[in-house]
């Protein structure tokens, strides 16, 4: 099917000019729509004065305190960190107990007489080499082609990917949308632009390297149908993401453990507890009308997925976890991993700050439990990444000075010291246990032993967190592109995905 740009070549000058004007309006809406309608929910809107002042004042106070009275300042800092760290440890512990594989095995999706139209948005930028594999994966979806509306969303500034798509004879249910060039050049802006051209009752986002299980769309429709029957306000179902190249490098093994624990254990636990659920960047399934009401994606937030998940929760909608897997590629090199993880952590910081611009309003919309989950858990995970390396500094200091095993004499300080030590030890224990258990449940028990190297991986996450914090200050909308490879470039055995899928056939 030709792209809209190709079709326009045969139009009359007047018709082409009208189409260009429509494109300009569509691009403006995709870029500025949320900011214009709900500026307080857009990362493009500058932080309120109180928020900037509180962050700057708190940091200055901490630095001055550490210089003038380091022991007292350390105790105050430890007291402030103890609650969020304890909550993160508790969440991991609950995930070990509450997340069970049998919760997600509902059998094969049922056949249906009427198939709702499904729009699939696949944003592509500098992805020419993965186009053939992508088209093959989308063609393999077990959903009637007559009910599919697949949009390959390209950027006007990326002629290489455009040429790769043009070289393939696309099926009739696939079409090309070219996003006019403009800033910010981000995935959410491209998604907003393409959303206005979709025809489906349901919408899902896939990334270029994704390999969704063939029946995933059918399972998503079934989940929404169950929600309608039960009266649940279900806005989105998030498929489980996992990795098809775990054995390639040390980084891919750690990435796989992290992803498996997150999507198989932590997110289902958040759902079970009724807490806000930040979405992953792909395999998010929505009723189209929900996206229209929510304002689409924020083109200025570099983790638009996590932001949208919190925004939906504030609007009273629920997000569920779908027992179907989408297989992705883990970054195999530090250079690629660093850029991707920096963007993720920077985007989480953006999301956290955006939704705490008006704390009373956010608390009213999320409720006390949801607000606590946002502040303590999301904030705690960000703080964990930033604070983690300083525990090693403190450990080294106490080791050198001989105070490593001596608790403070003051009872209050001793209690804080013991709580901090508990959080540190249990943070490692619960993190490693969750990764190992999740890997075993996935049928990837060979990865379980690699949890012992998690502390080193967490140090890399801390590096990316500080890099993201710096970018948040100097380049908040910078989108560091994750480079993907053609599936054949992975050194992973070709049957691993099939084996894992059979061992963990979610529903």
Q: According to the model, what pLDDT value does residue 267 have?
A: 95
Residue 78 has pLDDT above 50, yes or no: yes
Q: pLDDT-based confidence at 488, cuts 50/70/90? A: low
Q: According to the model, what pLDDT value does residue 495 have?
A: 42
Phi, psi of 237 (to 5 degrees): -120, 130
Other beta carbons less than 10 A from residue 28's beta carbon: 12
Other beta carbons less than 10 A from residue 423's beta carbon: 22
Q: Coil, strand or helix: which one is 323? A: strand
Looking at 12-26, 149-163, 422-436, which range is the least confident one?
12-26
Tokens for 45, please give them: 């809107």
Residue 92 has pLDDT above 70, yes or no: yes
- Count the alpha carbons within 13 Å of 153 in the hemisphere toward its beta carbon: 28
Looking at 13-17, 46-50, 271-275, 409-413, which range is the least confident one?
13-17
Q: What are 334-361's pLDDT values in tens digits?
A: 999 999 999 999 999 999 999 999 999 9
Average pLDDT over residues 98-103: 69
Q: According to the model, what pLDDT value does residue 1 have?
A: 46
Plot region of 107 (φ>0 → left; ψ -120 to 50 → alpha; else → beta): left
Work out the mean pLDDT of the chain and round it to a whole number. 87
Q: According to the model, what pLDDT value does residue 84 have?
A: 85
**468 or 393, greater pLDDT:** 468
Q: What is the pTM of this model?
A: 0.89
Percent with pLDDT over 70 in the chain = 88
Q: pLDDT-based confidence at 492, cuts 50/70/90? A: very low
Other beta carbons less than 10 A from residue 250's beta carbon: 13
Least Cα distance to 318 among 287, 362, 351, 281 occurs for: 287
Residue 166 has pLDDT above 90, yes or no: yes
Q: What are 108-153's pLDDT values in tens digits?
A: 566 778 899 999 999 999 999 999 999 999 999 999 999 999 999 9
């Amino acid at each position: 099917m030709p792209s809209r740009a190709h079709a326009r070549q045969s139009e009359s000058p007047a018709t082409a000019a009208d189409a260009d004007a429509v494109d300009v309006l569509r691009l403006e809406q995709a870029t500025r729509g949320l900011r214009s309608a709900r500026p307080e929910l857009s990362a493009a809107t500058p932080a309120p004065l109180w928020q900037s002042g509180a962050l700057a004042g708190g940091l200055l106070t901490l630095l001055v305190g550490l210089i003038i009275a380091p022991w007292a300042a350390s105790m105050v800092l430890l007291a402030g960190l103890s609650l969020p760290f304890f909550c993160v440890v508790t969440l991991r512990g609950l995930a070990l107990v509450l997340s069970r594989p049998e919760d997600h095995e509902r059998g094969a999706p049922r056949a249906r007489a009427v198939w709702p139209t499904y729009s699939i948005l696949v944003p592509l930028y500098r992805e020419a080499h993965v186009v053939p594999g992508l088209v093959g994966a989308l063609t393999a979806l077990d959903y009637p082609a007559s009910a599919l509306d697949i949009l390959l969303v390209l950027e006007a500034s990326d002629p290489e990917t455009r040429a790769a798509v043009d070289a393939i004879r696309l099926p009739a249910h696939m079409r090309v949308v070219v996003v006019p060039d403009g800033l910010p050049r981000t995935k959410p802006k491209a998604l907003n632009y393409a959303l206005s051209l979709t025809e489906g009752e349901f919408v899902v986002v896939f990334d270029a390297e994704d390999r969704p299980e063939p029946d995933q769309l059918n399972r998503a429709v079934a989940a929404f149908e169950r929600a309608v029957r039960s009266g649940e306000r279900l806005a989105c179902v998030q498929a489980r993401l996992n990795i098809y190249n775990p054995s390639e490098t040390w980084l891919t093994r750690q990435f796989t453990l992290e992803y498996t624990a997150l999507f198989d254990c932590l997110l289902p636990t958040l759902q079970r507890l009724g807490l806000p659920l930040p979405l992953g960047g792909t395999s998010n399934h929505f009723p189209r009308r929900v996206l229209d009401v929510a304002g689409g994606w924020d083109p200025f937030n570099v983790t638009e997925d996590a932001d949208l998940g919190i925004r939906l929760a504030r609007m009273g909608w629920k997000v569920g976890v779908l027992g179907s897997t989408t297989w992705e590629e883990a970054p195999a090199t530090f250079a690629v991993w660093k850029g991707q993880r920096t963007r993720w952590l920077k985007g989480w910081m953006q999301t956290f700050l955006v939704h705490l611009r008006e704390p009373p309003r956010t608390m009213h919309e999320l409720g006390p439990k949801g607000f606590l989950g946002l502040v303590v858990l999301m904030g705690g995970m960000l703080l964990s990444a930033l604070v983690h390396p300083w525990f090693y500094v403190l450990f080294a200091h106490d080791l050198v000075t001989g105070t490593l095993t001596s608790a403070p004499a003051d009872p209050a300080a001793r209690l804080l010291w013991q709580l901090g030590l508990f959080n540190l030890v249990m943070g490692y224990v619960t993190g490693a246990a969750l990764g190992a258990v999740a890997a075993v449940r996935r049928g990837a028990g060979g990865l379980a032993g690699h949890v012992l190297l998690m502390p080193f991986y967490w140090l890399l996450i801390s590096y990316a967190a500080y890099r993201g914090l710096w970018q948040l200050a100097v380049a908040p909308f910078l989108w560091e592109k994750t480079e993907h490879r053609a599936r054949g470039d992975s050194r992973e055995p070709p049957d691993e995905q099939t084996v894992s899928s059979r061992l963990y056939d979610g529903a």
